[in-house]
Amino acid sequence: MPYPAVGPRVLLRRLREVMAEQETAQEKLDRIAALVASNVVAEVCSIYVRDDRDELQLFATEGLRREAVHRARLKVGEGLVGTIARSAEVLNLSDAQAHPAFRYLPETGEEIYSSFLGVPILRSGRVTGVLVVQNRRPRHYSEEEEEALQTTAMVLAEFLASPEFLSELAAHGEKKSRRLHLRGEGLNAGVALGQVVLHQPKVVIRNFVADDIEAEIARLNAALEDLRAHVDELISTTGLSNQGEHAEIFETVRMFANDRGWVRKIEDAIRHGLSAEAAVERVQSDNRARMLRQPDPYLRERMHDLDDLANRLLRILTGQTGTAAQGDLPRDSIVVARSMGPAELLDYERAKLRGLVLEAAGAGSHVAIVARALEIPVIGQVDYITDQVENGDAIILDGRTGDVHVRPNPDIRQAYAEKVRLYARRQARFTRLRGQPAITRDGVRVSLNINAGLLVDLPHLEDSGADGIGLYRTELQFMMTRALPMREEQERHYRAVMKAAGDKPVVFRTLDVGSDKVVPYFKTEREENPAMGWRAIRMGLDRPALLKAQVRALLSAAAGEVLHVMFPMVTDVDEFLQARKMVESQLEVMRLMGKPVPRRVKTGAMVEVPALIFQLEGLVRHVDFLSVGSNDLMQFLFAADRSNPRLAHRFDPLHPAMVRALDTIARACRDAATPVSLCGEMAGSPLDAMILIGLGYTSLSMAPAAVGPVKAMTRTLDRGKLARALRSWLDNGGTSLREKAAVFARDNGVKLYSR
User: For residue 343, is pLDDT > 70?
Assistant: no
d(CA 726, CA 699): 19
Specify whether the CB–CB gap between 243 and 526 falls below 8 A: yes
Which residues lie closer than 8 Å to 146 by C-beta, 6 or more apart? 90, 92, 117, 119
| Alpha helix positions (H), 297-360 | 297-318, 342-346
Task: Render pLDDT for 172-197 as a digit per residue (tens, 0 to 9).
Answer: 655 445 688 999 989 888 899 999 99
User: For residue 341, is pLDDT > 90?
Assistant: no
Residue ranges matching CATH 3.20.20.60 in the chain: 433-747
β-bridge pairing 625-629 and 676-679? parallel
**In terms of C-beta distances under 8 Å and separation of at least 24 residues, what long-range contacts does 335-338 make, across chains too?**
335/197, 335/198, 335/199, 336/196, 336/197, 336/198, 336/199, 336/385, 336/386, 336/389, 336/395, 337/198, 337/199, 337/200, 337/386, 338/199, 338/200, 338/304, 338/307, 338/308, 338/386
pLDDT recorded at residue 495:
95
- Confidence class of residue 57 from pLDDT cuts 50, 70 and 90? very high
DSSP code string of 137-194: S-----HHHHHHHHHHHHHHHHHHTSHHHHHHHHHTT--SS--EEEE-EEEE--EEEE
The four Cα atoms 147, 150, 156, 160 give a dihedral, to 10 degrees, of 180
pLDDT recorded at residue 463:
85
Task: Of 327, 375, 369, 331, give the one whose Cα is nearest residue 347.
Answer: 327
The H or E element that residue 449 is part of is strand 447-452
Residue ranges matching CATH 1.10.274.10 in the chain: 213-318
Choose the CATH number for 8-171 among 3.40.50.620, 1.10.3720.10, 3.30.450.40, 3.40.50.1100: 3.30.450.40
Give mean pLDDT, residues 715-725: 96
CATH architecture of 213-318: Orthogonal Bundle (1.10)
Task: Of 252, 294, 286, give the one whose Cα is nearest residue 266.
Answer: 286
Q: What percent of the chain has pLDDT over 70?
A: 85
- Confidence class of residue 242 from pLDDT cuts 50, 70 and 90? very low
The H or E element that residue 282 is part of is helix 276-292
Decide which of 467 and 484 is more confident.
Answer: 467
The 3-state DSSP class for residue 355 equals: strand
> In the 8-state DSSP scheme, what is residue 212?
S
Looking at residue 111, its amino acid is E
**Mean residue pLDDT across the chain:** 85
User: For residue 3, is pLDDT > 60?
Assistant: no
Q: Cα–chain-centroid distance for residue 387?
A: 15
Give mean pLDDT, residues 379-407: 89
Task: Render pLDDT for 577-606 as a digit per residue (tens, 0 to 9).
Answer: 999 999 999 999 999 999 999 999 999 999
Residues marked active site are found at 366, 679
Kindly provide the residue ranges of all beta strands, DSSP E only, lying in 524-572, ordered along the sequence: 562-567
pLDDT recorded at residue 347:
80
| Alpha helix positions (H), 433-543 | 459-464, 475-479, 487-501, 536-542
pLDDT recorded at residue 616:
96
> In the 8-state DSSP scheme, what is residue 609?
S
User: For residue 543, is pLDDT > 90?
Assistant: no
d(CA 571, CA 634): 15
User: For residue 662, is pLDDT > 50?
Assistant: yes
Decide which of 346 and 88 is more confident.
Answer: 88
- Confidence class of residue 135 from pLDDT cuts 50, 70 and 90? very high
User: For residue 564, is pLDDT > 60?
Assistant: yes
User: For residue 521, is pLDDT > 60?
Assistant: no
Task: Of 714, 690, 689, give the one whose Cα is nearest residue 702.
Answer: 689
d(CA 119, CA 545): 63
The 3-state DSSP class for residue 486 equals: coil
Give mean pLDDT, residues 57-65: 94
CATH architecture of 433-747: Alpha-Beta Barrel (3.20)
The H or E element that residue 613 is part of is helix 610-613
Q: Cα–chain-centroid distance for residue 553?
A: 33
Give mean pLDDT, residues 241-246: 41
Give mean pLDDT, residues 646-650: 65
pLDDT recorded at residue 732:
81
Choose the CATH number for 180-200+324-419 among 2.60.40.1180, 2.40.160.20, 1.20.120.350, 3.50.30.10: 3.50.30.10
pLDDT recorded at residue 283:
85
pLDDT recorded at residue 507:
97
Phi, psi torsion values for 744, nearest 5 degrees: -60, -45
Any idea how long the chain is?
A: 755
Q: What percent of the chain has pLDDT over 90?
A: 48
Which residues lie closer than 8 Å to 562 by C-beta, 6 or more apart? 505, 598, 599, 600, 601, 602
Residue ranges matching CATH 3.30.450.40 in the chain: 8-171
Give mean pLDDT, residues 659-668: 96
The 3-state DSSP class for residue 502 equals: coil
The H or E element that residue 57 is part of is strand 55-62
pLDDT recorded at residue 648:
61
Task: Render pLDDT for 259-293 as a digit per residue (tens, 0 to 9).
Answer: 777 888 889 888 888 889 888 888 887 777 666 66
Residue 689: how many other CB atoms lie within 10 Å? 27
pLDDT recorded at residue 475:
85
Among the listed ranges 12-26, 88-102, 389-403, 485-499, which one has the minimum average pLDDT value?
A: 12-26
Give mean pLDDT, residues 249-266: 68
Among the listed ranges 32-36, 80-84, 175-179, 244-248, which one has the minimum average pLDDT value?
A: 244-248
Q: Cα–Cα–Cα angle for 733, 737, 742, nearest 5°?
A: 145
